[in-house]
C-alpha cells in the first residue's frame, strides 16, 4: 500500500479529500490528515509517505514552504499534489520550481481527480519496480542464493536474503523464470547483458545453462525473444534453446518454474529444432512420448549387425531414430535405448572374441547426459560399424590359412602366458608341425614373434604414456622384470628409460 499525507487548513476540504475517492481500492492508505503545515511536516517525517496532497495557502508553514522543507529531508521524496484557489499563478510557478508536476484548482473535479491519482499510482508503481530492480542488481548474494535454490542445495535462505525476497515479493504480483540451454561461453554473456539492461536478475547455473528472473510474464516473453535472437547470432550456429517457465507468486517458488522450463528447453535442444522461445504455458511442443521402440525393430537391427549386413543395419537404425524424432520421444528413453543397443553389440562382439574395453569411450558418452538426438545416432552408428568390422574380420580369419589365423590370435593374446603346445591345441594342429611351419613362413619362432609383439607395445607405451617401466613390463606379458629388460635391449640396443627419453626428445 502507498502511504498518503493530506494537508488543508479547511476542515470541510480536508474531509472532502478523505472521502473523494476509495483510497484503499487504489492501493493507498492515509497515514496523516493535517490541518496545517507544521502537522503535515511532522507526519511526513514520521511515516515517509509516497504521496502528499497539500493546499497552498495555510497558516504558519504554507504548502510551498512544506514542499521546500520536505525536499531538504534525507528521505525518499514523495510525489506532491498541490491544491490552490483560482488565480494563484505565482504559487503554481514556484511549485513547479520545486519539482511539483501535479497542480489542481479548487474545487477539484472528480474526473480530473481520478485521472491524476491514476497517473500517480502508475508513477509510484514504476518507482517501486525501479527500486526493486536496483536492489536486485546491487545484491550479488541474491542471484547466488537463487541459483543454489534451483539446484536443490537448500530449503530456506539465510535471514538477510529471506527478508529481501519477502520485500521483493510484496512489490510485484509474480515472477517468471527464463531458462537458456546452450554453449556456456555464449549464453552467460548474452543473459547477463540483457538481464542487466532491463533490471532483471541473471542466474548463473552450472553446465551449459543459465537463467533470468523477471517480474512480469509480458516482459519475460519479450526478453526471451531477445535472448533467442542474440543466441542465434552468437556464432555457434544458433545452437541452443530458450524456454519460459510458468509464473509463480514468490521467489521461493522459482524451482517449480525452473524445472518446467529446463525440461522443455532440454528436449527442444535435444531435437535441435529451429524457432523461437518455448512458452511452457501455451506451447504444445513440450509434449513428449515415453514409448520404447518395438522389440521387432531392435531384433532386426541386431540381426543385421550379426550378419554384417551394413546397409540394412544403417536403415534400421535410421528408422528407429526417425521414429524418436516423429514421436518426440523423451531424451532419457532414447539414451536408455541407445545403451541397450550398445550393450547388445558388445555382447555380440564378445561372442566372436572381442573385448568390451574396445568400446569404453563410446560407453562413457552414452552414460553422460545426451547432447542431442543427432549426436546419439552418430555415436551409435560408429559403435555398430566397429562391431560389424570386428565380426567381419573374425569371419575372414576363419576362412584363411591356419598360420594367418595363428598370427591374428597371437596379436590379440600376446600379453598372456602362451606355449606352442597350447596354441597348437587351440587350432587343432600338431605342435611340432606348427613350430616348423611358422618359422618357415615368418623366419622366426612363435616365441620370438610374441616377444616382438610385446616389445613393440612396450615401446608405444613408453613413448605415449607416463607409466612406470615395471608396470609396462607386466602389462605386455612379462612376469620377470629382468626378462623384459633383456628382450627390450636385445631389440632396441637401449634401456627402456633411455628409449623413452630419446623418443620424447625427438618428438
DSSP track, 64-112: HHHHHHHHHSSSPPPEEEEEE-TT-HHHHHHHHHTT--EEEESSPPHHH
Grid coordinates in use for 370?
545426451
CA distances from 337 to 267, 340, 380 (A): 16, 5, 10
Residues 38 and 80 in one domain: yes
DSSP-assigned letters across all residues of 351-375? HTT--GGGGHHHHHHHHSPP--HHH
pLDDT higher at 86 or 378: 378
pLDDT band at 135 (very low <50, low <70, confident <90, very high): low
Domain membership flag for residue 394: no
How do residues 353-390 score in pLDDT, each as one tens digit? Answer: 667 676 667 667 766 666 678 888 888 898 899 888 88
Q: How far is CA 32 from the centre of its chain?
A: 51
SS (H, E, C) 415-450: CCCCCHHHHHHHCCCCHHHHHHHHHHHHCCCHHHHH
Q: How many domains does the chain have?
A: 4
Report, as an integer, the average pLDDT of 275-291: 70
User: Which range, 127-141, 266-280, 320-334, 461-475, has the best average confidence (pLDDT)?
Assistant: 461-475
CATH number at residue 226: 3.30.70
Domain membership flag for residue 396: no
Residues 106 and 6 in one domain: yes
Is it the case that residue 446 has pLDDT exceeding 50? yes
Is it the case that residue 155 has pLDDT exceeding 70? no
pLDDT band at 157 (very low <50, low <70, confident <90, very high): low
Task: Find the distance separating the first CA and the last CA of the chain, reported in whole Å.
Answer: 76
Is it the case that residue 92 has pLDDT exceeding 90? no
DSSP label at residue 142:
H
Q: How far apart are CA 345 and CA 186, in angstroms?
A: 38
Domain membership flag for residue 416: yes
Domain membership flag for residue 290: no
Residues 120 and 216 in one domain: no
Report, as an integer, the average pLDDT of 16-40: 89
Residues 281 and 305 in one domain: no
pLDDT higher at 49 or 239: 49
| Neighbour count for residue 8 (Cβ, 10 Å) | 25
Residues 280 and 312 in one domain: no
- Coil, helix or strand at residue 211: strand
Closest CA to 353 of 390, 316, 302, 303: 390
Domain membership flag for residue 397: no
Q: What is the pLDDT of residue 88?
A: 62
pLDDT higher at 113 or 446: 446
Q: What is the pLDDT of residue 39?
A: 93
Determine contact, residues 196/202, Cβ cutoff 8 Å: yes
Determine contact, residues 23/1, Cβ cutoff 8 Å: no
Q: How far is CA 438 from the centre of its chain?
A: 60
Q: What is the pLDDT of residue 498?
A: 95
Domain membership flag for residue 385: no
Return the minimum-mean-pLDDT range out of 316-325, 389-398, 445-454. 389-398
As a whole-number percent, the residues of the chain with pLDDT over 70 amount to 87
Residues 179 and 199 in one domain: yes
Residues 278 and 306 in one domain: no
Q: What is the pLDDT of residue 288?
A: 75
| Neighbour count for residue 176 (Cβ, 10 Å) | 26
Close Cβ partners of 13 (under 8 Å, ≥ 6 residues apart): 55, 83, 106
Close Cβ partners of 125 (under 8 Å, ≥ 6 residues apart): none
> Of 131, 149, 182, which residue is a domain's last?
131
Q: How far apart are CA 326 and CA 319, in angstroms?
A: 10
Phi, psi of 178 (to 5 degrees): -110, 125
Is it the case that residue 284 has pLDDT exceeding 50? no
Residues 408 and 344 in one domain: no
- In a 13 Å sphere around the CA of 176, the CA atoms on its Cβ side amount to 21
Residues 108 and 148 in one domain: no
Sheet containing 51-55: which strands, arranged edge to edge? 28-34, 2-7, 51-55, 79-84, 102-105
Q: What rounded mean pLDDT belongs to the chain? A: 84
Instruction: State which residues form the domain around 34.
Output: 2-131
Residues 299 and 271 in one domain: no
Q: How far apart are CA 92 and CA 107, in angstroms?
A: 16
Domain membership flag for residue 386: no
Is it the case that residue 397 has pLDDT exceeding 80? no
Report, as an integer, the average pLDDT of 449-467: 94
Amino acid at each position: 500500500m502507498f502511504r498518503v499525507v493530506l494537508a488543508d487548513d479547511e476542515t470541510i476540504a480536508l474531509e472532502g479529500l478523505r472521502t473523494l475517492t476509495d483510497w484503499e481500492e487504489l492501493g493507498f492508505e492515509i497515514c496523516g490528515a493535517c490541518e496545517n503545515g507544521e502537522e503535515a511536516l511532522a507526519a511526513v517525517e514520521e511515516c515517509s509517505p509516497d504521496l502528499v496532497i497539500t493546499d497552498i495557502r495555510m497558516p504558519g508553514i504554507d504548502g510551498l514552504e512544506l514542499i521546500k522543507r520536505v525536499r531538504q529531508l534525507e528521505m525518499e521524496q514523495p510525489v506532491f499534489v498541490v491544491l490552490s484557489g483560482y488565480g494563484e499563478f505565482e504559487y503554481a510557478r514556484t511549485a513547479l520550481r520545486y519539482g511539483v508536476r501535479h497542480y489542481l484548482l479548487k474545487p477539484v473535479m472528480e474526473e480530473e481527480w481520478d485521472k491524476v491519482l491514476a497517473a500517480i499510482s502508475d508513477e509510484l508503481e514504476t518507482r517501486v519496480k525501479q527500486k526493486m530492480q536496483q536492489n536486485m542488481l546491487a545484491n550479488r548474494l541474491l542471484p547466488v542464493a537463487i541459483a543454489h535454490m534451483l539446484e536443490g542445495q537448500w530449503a530456506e535462505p539465510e535471514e538477510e536474503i529471506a527478508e529481501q525476497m519477502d520485500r521483493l515479493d510484496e512489490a510485484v504480483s509474480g515472477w517468471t523464470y527464463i531458462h537458456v540451454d546452450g554453449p556456456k561461453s555464449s549464453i552467460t554473456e548474452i543473459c547477463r547483458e540483457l538481464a542487466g539492461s532491463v533490471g532483471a536478475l541473471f542466474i548463473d547455473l552450472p553446465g551449459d545453462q543459465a537463467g533470468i528472473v523477471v517480474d512480469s510474464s509480458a516482459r519475460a516473453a519479450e526478453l526471451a525473444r531477445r535472448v533467442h535472437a542474440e543466441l542465434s547470432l552468437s556464432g555457434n550456429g544458433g545452437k541452443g534453446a530458450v524456454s519460459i517457465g510458468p509464473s509463480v507468486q514468490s521467489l521461493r517458488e522459482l524451482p517449480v518454474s525452473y524445472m518446467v522450463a529446463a525440461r522443455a528447453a532440454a528436449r527442444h535442444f535435444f531435437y535441435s529444432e529451429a524457432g523461437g522461445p518455448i512458452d511452457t504455458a501455451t506451447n504444445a511442443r513440450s509434449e513428449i512420448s515415453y514409448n520404447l521402440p518395438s522389440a521387432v525393430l531392435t531384433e532386426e537391427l541386431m540381426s543385421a549387425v550379426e550378419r554384417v549386413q551394413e546397409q540394412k543395419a544403417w536403415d534400421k537404425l535410421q528408422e528407429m531414430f526417425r521414429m524418436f524424432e516423429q514421436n518426440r520421444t523423451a531424451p532419457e528413453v532414447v539414451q536408455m535405448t541407445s545403451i541397450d543397443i550398445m550393450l547388445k553389440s558388445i555382447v555380440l562382439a564378445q561372442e566372436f572374441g572381442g573385448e568390451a574395453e574396445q568400446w569404453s569411450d563410446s560407453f562413457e558418452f552414452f552414460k553422460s547426459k545426451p547432447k542431442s538426438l543427432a549426436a546419439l545416432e552418430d555415436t551409435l552408428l560408429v559403435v555398430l560399424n566397429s562391431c560389424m568390422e570386428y565380426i567381419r574380420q573374425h569371419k575372414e580369419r576363419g576362412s584363411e590359412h591356419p598360420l594367418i589365423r595363428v598370427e591374428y590370435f597371437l596379436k590379440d593374446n600376446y600379453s598372456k602366458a602362451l606355449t606352442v603346445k597350447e596354441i597348437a591345441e587351440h587350432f587343432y594342429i600338431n605342435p611340432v608341425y606348427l613350430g616348423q611351419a611358422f618359422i618357415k613362413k615368418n623366419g622366426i619362432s612363435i616365441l620370438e614373434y610374441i616377444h616382438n609383439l610385446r616389445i613393440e607395445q612396450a615401446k608405444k607405451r613408453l613413448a605415449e604414456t607416463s607409466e612406470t617401466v615395471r608396470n609396462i613390463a607386466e602389462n605386455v606379458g612379462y612376469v620377470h622384470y629382468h626378462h623384459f629388460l633383456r628382450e627390450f635391449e636385445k631389440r632396441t640396443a637401449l634401456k627402456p628409460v633411455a628409449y623413452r627419453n630419446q623418443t620424447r626428445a625427438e618428438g
